[in-house]
Amino acid sequence: MHRLESLIFSSSFQLCISVGFLLSFVFSSEIPLGSRISVEDSNYWASSNGDFAIGFFSYSNQYKVGIHFNSSSIPVNKQTVIWVAGADLTVGNKSYFQFDQSGEMVLFDSATELIAWRSKTSYTSVVSAVLRNDGNLVLLNKQKDVVWQSFDNPSDTLLPGQNFSISHVLRPPSKNSVSSYYSLYMAVSGQLQLRWETSVIYWTSGNPSQSAHRATLNTDGVLQLIDQQLKPIWSISGEDHNDLDVKFRFLRLDADGNLRLYSWQNASSSWRSVWQAVNNQCDVFATCGLHGICVFNESGSAVCKCPFTPAGEYTSKCLVPSDENCGSGSSLITYEHTFLYGIYPPNETIIETSLLECKILCREDRLCTAATFINNGSAQCRIKRTRYMSGKSDPSLDSISVVKMCSDPIAVLPQFPKSTPKNSVPKSSQIICIPCLVGVAAGTLGVLLVIQLAIGLYFLRRRKKHLRNKAAFTCVDPNTRGCIMLTYPEIRELTENFKHHIGSKVFKGVLPDNQPVAIKELSTSIEERKFRSAVSKIGSIYHKNLLKLDGYCCESNHRLLVYEFVKNGSLGDCLEDPKLCKRLTWRKRIDICLAVARAVSYLHTGCREFVNHGNLKCENVLLDDDLEVKVSEFGLQIFLSEVSDTWGTAEADVKDFGKMLVKMISGCQDADAACQWAYEHWLAAQGEKIADSRLEGSLNLDEMERALRIAFWCLQVDERMRPSMGEIVKVLEGTLPVDPPPPLSAHNHFRSSSSSEMQSDSEP
């Protein structure tokens, strides 16, 4: 079934190459400045021998532009794409690809009306472009020197004659919105390596004692590693490398993580895989994604199974083993001939012991989720303490695995540990600490008393107002001042009739005791009863990093909040202000993020009732004179929504925090775009490129790696995988280690549907 789907998918990918034979204007080889190809015209640029062409092709309701085989000896639906501009980028149906007058190739996306990809060659004196006969798109200057070439920017494929060296990466296209986590690199040691994320190497070529300079696929189907003196030091060849009838070949890192050499078979009119790097597909790391087990079916293809559901069906709901919180104890379920390994994190504890002892060790270790026992000479017990694991199973494997399951009958299908029913209050708020409660309750009572007192005193003072004229607002001692109620005329007075506008519906004012305040106007439609109850709730929250509510006004058609005033404005502004930004060193930025995390953690877990922030972003983080953090705008949803119904969640705040963290590290304006971009660089182990260039020397790389990892955990699509604010605080403090995050994706976090589609078939 899955295999069928995968076949349909991969063939539709190639079927839809839009080649406009009808009215298209085809350039032969040389592409002049100013030329353009577009989706609508379905025209293309071909190489002079006609073997390759560059054009748009459709890809899941959108379009990509790339180079594909174009030879008439290959049927249109098998004209495989070998290079794509911007790899995973898809564009709208009115997009175009243009060689513009400045000498740059640009891809304009009609869906966003933005340039989605560019060759970054403007002002490098590029005067012409050519799609060469070997499938290489090159941009040349007047002297005919190559300024840019597609061979230096590979996607997932290497063609004969193309060099692959240390700066290059092959990565399969992702069916989700971010790049695949498999990649082919050339290591510093000069070996080719297949990696999963940045941490796990599951295949290495050749001999580390000799240092290769580059890898090249020859036209005769031999893949070689070549040293500085042009001497081949390692090579592999396909079954048909001597076959002179084979005209087309390519090497591709497929979506299933295997590297394969393909050649075109004229007789069968098909692409055939003549070599693959990892012989047994089940040995490709995490080939079945999270929680799946790789097995071979009767016809010899690798398929993914879920051992954790009774039916064994592999779906996106293939569940994890139980966590440590089984209500009524747990039991170990045994899987014969099965090898399990952790993915997040990949490391595990290895103990030399017997199978029986291994089971006891796991049962008695509260954190143990599963264990694999192997006996190949010495008996090894590999204890896993993660809920994210993968594995393989085969009658020839002499390993035995046990998985811990809750014996609670409700948990026959174990649930994700952090799963909470929709709209229910997150678990953080369900944990009630009695002493805290008493403390908070007493505090609230105190605040209420102060409000009462303030109101009482205030009325008293107001009567004397005509006599005393000014100083009308010095109702209570400023040190014990609670949340005061003001009339609309008083608000007008202290803002000098809303003279100083400092933000959207926010005005500056000065209390009679010269204390500056910021006054925020809310929608007049908020019901009075709800407004007052929300004010008393927000007014009772006190944390040094949360902006303090000083007062409010609630009259027939006025709803205003009076906050303490913070001098330097928002973090968003500070990042843009060159002078203030100088003060935002790496240390300061991390301290700021930590303060925000602490404040939000306090909102989530420290208040009597759970309060979400609901709108966490740099614009709502204010900085005072000493760049101390004051988080503003928290809990304002209480005013807008029915409490406990469309209630924001802690997980949403965590995601917003993740975005903010990436923005603080990168200094980028557009947080969403920055996250995607930062993740891709991080994945490619180019973390240093992410850092804001204004940080200069103050960067701490270890700390940045930690901050990025936790940020990407925060950005997980599956809310249940996001950390709590408390955990984030610990990671930023450096008191809790953080594993590399699972891949980020827009749709299906687990990628289980894609990883269940095994590509064991020889046709690409």
Ligand X SMILES: *[C@@H]1O[C@H](CO)[C@@H](O)[C@H](O)[C@H]1NC(C)=O
Strand partners, 510: 516
- The least distance separating ligand X from the CB of residue 252, rounded to whole angstroms, comes to 18
**Alpha-carbon span 489 to 514, nearest angstrom:** 18
**N-to-C CA span, the chain:** 18
- The least distance separating ligand X from the CB of residue 368, rounded to whole angstroms, comes to 50
Asked if 368 and 359 count as a contact pair (C-beta separation under 8 A), the reply is no
Strand partners, 368: none
**Alpha-carbon span 163 to 223, nearest angstrom:** 11
**Interaction mask 533-562, ligand X, x per CB under 6 A:** ------------------------------
Question: Which helix (H) or strand (E) segment is 45 a member of?
Answer: strand 44-46
- The least distance separating ligand X from the CB of residue 248, rounded to whole angstroms, comes to 17
- The least distance separating ligand X from the CB of residue 562, rounded to whole angstroms, comes to 47
Q: Indicate the residue among 37 and 282 with the shorter CB distance to ligand X.
A: 37
Using CB under 6 A, which of 18, 29, 48, 93 touches ligand X? 93
Q: Indicate the residue among 15 and 736 with the shorter CB distance to ligand X.
A: 15
Residues 120-139 touching ligand X, rule: CB under 6 A, are none
Q: Indicate the residue among 45 and 151 with the shorter CB distance to ligand X.
A: 151
Q: Indicate the residue among 90 and 752 with the shorter CB distance to ligand X.
A: 90
Q: Indicate the residue among 92 and 345 with the shorter CB distance to ligand X.
A: 92
Q: Other CB atoms closer than 10 Å to residue 33's CB: what's the count?
A: 15
How is residue 484 written in tokens? 């005061």
- The least distance separating ligand X from the CB of residue 132, rounded to whole angstroms, comes to 9
Asked if 688 and 703 count as a contact pair (C-beta separation under 8 A), the reply is no
Q: Indicate the residue among 163 and 237 with the shorter CB distance to ligand X.
A: 163
Q: Indicate the residue among 151 and 341 with the shorter CB distance to ligand X.
A: 151
Strand partners, 383: 349, 371
Instruction: Tell me how far apart the 2 most distant CA atoms of the chain are, in Å.
Output: 108
Residues 353-392 touching ligand X, rule: CB under 6 A, are none
Q: Indicate the residue among 3 and 214 with the shorter CB distance to ligand X.
A: 214
**Alpha-carbon span 470 to 266, nearest angstrom:** 96
- The least distance separating ligand X from the CB of residue 135, rounded to whole angstroms, comes to 10
Q: Indicate the residue among 90 and 540 with the shorter CB distance to ligand X.
A: 90
Q: Indicate the residue among 135 and 606 with the shorter CB distance to ligand X.
A: 135
**Alpha-carbon span 527 to 494, nearest angstrom:** 25
**Alpha-carbon span 560 to 492, nearest angstrom:** 11
Using CB under 6 A, which of 151, 250, 285, 458 touches ligand X? 151
Q: Indicate the residue among 138 and 731 with the shorter CB distance to ligand X.
A: 138
Q: Indicate the residue among 151 and 250 with the shorter CB distance to ligand X.
A: 151
Q: Indicate the residue among 64 and 481 with the shorter CB distance to ligand X.
A: 64
- The least distance separating ligand X from the CB of residue 31, rounded to whole angstroms, comes to 18
Decide: residue 762, CB within 10 A, 0-12 exposed, 13-18 middle, 19+ buried.
Answer: middle
Q: Indicate the residue among 160 and 426 with the shorter CB distance to ligand X.
A: 160
**Alpha-carbon span 458 to 471, nearest angstrom:** 11
The closest alpha carbon to 752, from 352, 329, 309, belongs to 309
Q: Other CB atoms closer than 10 Å to residue 533's CB: what's the count?
A: 14
The closest alpha carbon to 725, from 618, 652, 664, belongs to 652
- The least distance separating ligand X from the CB of residue 155, rounded to whole angstroms, comes to 16
**Interaction mask 198-217, ligand X, x per CB under 6 A:** ----------------x---
**Alpha-carbon span 376 to 340, nearest angstrom:** 16
Asked if 487 and 556 count as a contact pair (C-beta separation under 8 A), the reply is no
- The least distance separating ligand X from the CB of residue 455, rounded to whole angstroms, comes to 57
559: left (phi over 0), alpha (psi -120 to 50) or beta: beta
Asked if 690 and 681 count as a contact pair (C-beta separation under 8 A), the reply is yes
Instruction: Tell me the number of residues near ligand X by CB under 6 A.
Output: 6
**Alpha-carbon span 422 to 647, nearest angstrom:** 10
Name the pairing type of β-strands 293-296 and 378-384. Answer: unpaired
- The least distance separating ligand X from the CB of residue 55, rounded to whole angstroms, comes to 17
**What are phi and psi for residue 245, nearest 5 degrees?**
-75, -15
Q: Indicate the residue among 130 and 690 with the shorter CB distance to ligand X.
A: 130
- The least distance separating ligand X from the CB of residue 161, rounded to whole angstroms, comes to 6
**Alpha-carbon span 106 to 104, nearest angstrom:** 6
Residues 642-671 touching ligand X, rule: CB under 6 A, are none
- The least distance separating ligand X from the CB of residue 214, rounded to whole angstroms, comes to 6
How is residue 413 written in tokens? 């299908």
Using CB under 6 A, which of 48, 98, 128, 163 touches ligand X? 163
- The least distance separating ligand X from the CB of residue 137, rounded to whole angstroms, comes to 11
Asked if 44 and 37 count as a contact pair (C-beta separation under 8 A), the reply is yes
String of DSSP letters for 129-171: EEE-TTS-EEEEETT--EEEEGGGS-SSEE-TT-EE-TT-EE-
Residue 585 touching ligand X (CB under 6 A): no
Q: Indicate the residue among 163 and 444 with the shorter CB distance to ligand X.
A: 163
- The least distance separating ligand X from the CB of residue 383, rounded to whole angstroms, comes to 48
Decide: residue 747, CB within 10 A, 0-12 exposed, 13-18 middle, 19+ buried.
Answer: exposed
- The least distance separating ligand X from the CB of residue 191, rounded to whole angstroms, comes to 18
- The least distance separating ligand X from the CB of residue 150, rounded to whole angstroms, comes to 10
Sequence-ordered list of residues with C-beta below 8 angstroms from that of 633, at least 6 positions apart, any chain: 547, 613, 614, 615, 620
Kindly list the residues in this chain that would bind ligand X in the complex (CB under 6 A): 92-93, 151, 161, 163, 214
